[in-house]
């Protein structure tokens, strides 16, 4: 398990270097929330200040992990698992405001990504989750049947109440929850006065301010895991990587990863990884899943239209950069 968690951490690697005598910088880790490793580093703070910020980060991390969990109930929460497992999904359920906010973001993401990122296809994604756990391919007829319950219009949000118009529908927020939580925690840190930090949740990184006067450095891992594709200098932005090389199963000699194309109902194979640089972690998280499902040329073109920068590792191992990168 720890080997898997560390692999997820190193999708994006905050490279924290000492800069200058007397520079104060501290780092702390969490192992397991959102099924990954979270690293929090703050610069130009005292140990006492860091401990306060650290407590905020990891208490909020655990809260979001419980709130957005689709696999288990957590005492003290009405979470997404509970929302998915109601006796009558058509009845409005009062949810936490941030569940309603996240699901609203998911509905917007569906439009933005032309249906490629669809939180309503939880039934389909559940079949693939079981396939990875059991190492057996899902039945093709069951995949087709589950896709029928993935109509995003059947997800109705009114204020903080949520209901499903299709009783077979469930939601899966795997393409957005981590980015949403990372962004929210970063915003809280800023509100509390933390002016220089990097928050890394597996393949999601948010940077704020500088590393004692210099940009934070974030390494983008290659799909092989043996090297870095590049090192980005980053301040006040989000960097998110999506790839199929850390969550997968091999069945009959073929690899099946976790990013499912709703058009084919099977894992997509357009590229090895894509890294998105944007102003928002929630936005970048959604877009990384979207771009991963596109042909490389279209992904690069779409990134330019949307005003974000991306790095692609294609299936031949070539590294492609969108416009906007200096080098």
CB proximity list for 279: less than 8 A, separation 6 or greater: 237, 238
Give the whole-angstrom CA distance, residue 183 versus residue 77: 21
Share of the chain above pLDDT 70, in %: 92
Residue 156, domain extent: 88-164
pLDDT for res 192: 97
| Any domain includes 45 | no
What tens digit of pLDDT does each residue of 261-278 get?
A: 999 999 999 999 999 999
HEC string of 241-308? Answer: EEECCCCEEEECCEEEECCECCCCCCECCCCCEEEEEECCHHHHHHHHHHHHCCCHHHHHHHHHHHCC
| Any domain includes 283 | no
| Any domain includes 225 | no
| Any domain includes 43 | no
What pairing do the DSSP bridges indicate for beta strands 161-164 and 216-221? unpaired
| Any domain includes 137 | yes
Q: Provide the domain count of the chain.
A: 1
| Any domain includes 274 | no
Confidence of residue 13 (pLDDT cuts 50, 70, 90): low
Tokens of 261: 């194309």
| Any domain includes 95 | yes
Torsions phi, psi for 110 (to 5 deg): -60, -45
| Any domain includes 98 | yes
pTM of the model: 0.93
Q: What is the CATH number of the domain that holds 95?
A: 1.10.3980.10
Confidence of residue 307 (pLDDT cuts 50, 70, 90): very high
pLDDT for res 227: 87
């Amino acid at each position: 398990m720890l080997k898997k968690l560390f692999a997820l951490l190193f999708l994006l690697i905050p490279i924290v270097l000492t800069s200058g005598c007397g520079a104060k910088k501290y780092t702390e880790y969490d192992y397991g929330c959102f099924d990954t490793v979270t690293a929090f580093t703050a610069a130009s703070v005292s140990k006492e200040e860091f401990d306060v910020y650290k407590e905020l980060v990891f208490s909020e991390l655990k809260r979001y992990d419980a709130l957005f969990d689709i696999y288990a109930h957590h005492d003290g929460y009405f979470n997404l698992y509970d929302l998915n497992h109601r006796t009558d999904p058509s009845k409005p359920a009062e949810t936490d405001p941030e569940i309603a906010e996240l699901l609203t973001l998911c509905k917007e993401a569906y439009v933005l990504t032309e249906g490629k990122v669809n939180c309503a296809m939880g039934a389909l994604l559940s079949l693939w989750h079981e396939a990875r756990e059991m190492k057996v391919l899902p039945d093709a007829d069951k995949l087709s049947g589950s896709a029928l319950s993935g109509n995003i219009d059947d997800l109705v949000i009114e204020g903080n109440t949520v209901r499903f118009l299709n009783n077979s529908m469930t939601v899966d927020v795997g393409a957005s929850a981590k980015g949403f939580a990372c962004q929210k925690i970063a915003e809280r840190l800023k509100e509390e006065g933390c002016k220089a930090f990097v928050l890394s949740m597996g393949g999601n990184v948010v940077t704020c301010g500088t590393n004692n006067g210099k940009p934070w450095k974030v390494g983008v891992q290659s799909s092989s895991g043996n090297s870095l594709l590049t090192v980005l200098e980053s301040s006040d932005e989000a960097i998110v990587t999506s790839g199929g090389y850390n969550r997968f199963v091999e069945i009959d000699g073929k690899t099946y990863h976790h990013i499912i194309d709703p058009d084919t109902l099977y894992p997509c194979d357009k590229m090895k990884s894509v890294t998105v640089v944007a102003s928002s972690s929630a936005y970048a998280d959604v877009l990384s899943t979207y771009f991963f499902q596109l042909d490389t040329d279209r992904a690069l073109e779409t990134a330019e239209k949307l005003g974000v920068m991306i790095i692609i590792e294609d299936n031949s191992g070539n590294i492609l950069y969108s416009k906007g990168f200096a080098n």
